[in-house]
Amino acid sequence: MQFCSLYSGSSGNCLYVASENTKILIDAGLSGKRIESALKDRDINPNEIKGIVVTHEHSDHTKGVGILSRRFNIPIFANTNTWKAMYPSLGKISDENIKVFGSYKSFEIGDIVVNPFPIPHDAVEPCGYSFIKGNKKITIATDIGYVTDAIRWNMKDSDLMLLESNHDVDMLKVGPYPYELKRRVLSDRGHLSNENAGKAILEVLSSKIKNILLGHLSDTNNYPCLAHETVTSVLKMEGVNPGKDFTLDVATRDEPTKIYCI
């Protein structure tokens, strides 16, 4: 399997997962033009995308969904409540590209099994996802106020995972956000801090995992180097040394990562 973060951050999100025969996008929260450019930058043909899987209805995850579906005839997969919430903003979608799955029920796109799972965020029915092909597993969990048992269970035994590391708590507290927005980010339905991302990784580490990416960083309340340093510090305090048994990288908001192969 392959994974690439095309964009990951508070200004827009789009991820790529593929097997040899099936290519999938997770979210499309930027303009269609930018996402198409990022795909071509990584030699990925947008005409070969078999589906866009949506985590939740917020615009930084759905802005380009309708555009890409129309331009490249791509099916859109989301649960019932997410479809209801995002449909008015997507524009005209052909009936054959409206794919509704039951709440947190597994389904297949090509030869990839998609396992949705609940995440705590202030959306109608937000999902994280695991993508499975044979004995390979990639798990995505961003926009999470805290780490639930469902998130831990799905992250365990992953070969690669992308976990939110949204903000530094001190930066957020003294930063320019209004009080109510700070409360939202820090709440159980907000976003995961750098320190809590490190603690979550400790809870799900196994010998199988080879790649961990930190994602959905705030443009205002975080820096890629700070997220990496904070998570590394948390891990090292428990005797875990990133770089020895697994890689720890940061998915940035402005450009694609390399393509990870597992």
The structure tokens listed for 124 are 């109608």
Q: Which of 111, 43, 113, 45 is nearest to 258 (CA)?
A: 43
Q: Enumerate the β-bridge partners of residue 164.
A: 215
Rounded distance between C-alpha atoms, residue 116 and residue 53, angstroms: 10
Q: What is the pLDDT of residues 44-86, one digit of tens each?
A: 999 999 999 999 999 999 999 999 999 999 999 999 999 999 9
The structure tokens listed for 229 are 């340093």
The structure tokens listed for 157 are 């035994």
The structure tokens listed for 109 are 């796109």
Q: What was the pLDDT predicted at 10?
A: 86
Q: Which domain holds residue 155?
A: 2-261
Provide the residue type at 187 as one letter.
S
Look at the chain and report how many structural domains it folds into. Answer: 1
**DSSP one-letter code for 51:** E
Helix (H, G, I), strand (E, B) or coil at 182: helix
Q: What was the pLDDT predicted at 42?
A: 96
144 burial level (CB within 10 Å; 0-12, 13-18, 19+): buried
Helix (H, G, I), strand (E, B) or coil at 211: strand
CATH number of the domain to which 202 belongs? 3.60.15.10
* Cβ atoms of 258 and 251 closer than 8 Å: no
Sheet containing strand 14-18, edge to edge, reads 98-101, 76-79, 49-53, 23-26, 14-18, 2-7, 260-261
Mean pLDDT of 196-214: 95
Q: What is the pLDDT of residues 215-256, one digit of tens each?
A: 999 999 999 999 999 999 999 999 999 988 899 999 999 999
- The phi and psi torsions of 212 (rounded to 5 degrees) equal -125, 130
When the pLDDT of each residue in the chain is averaged and rounded to a whole number, the result is: 96
* Residue 101 neighbours by CB under 8 Å, 6+ apart: 77, 78, 79, 107, 116
Reported confidence tier of residue 18, pLDDT bands at 50, 70, 90: very high
Q: What was the pLDDT predicted at 3?
A: 98
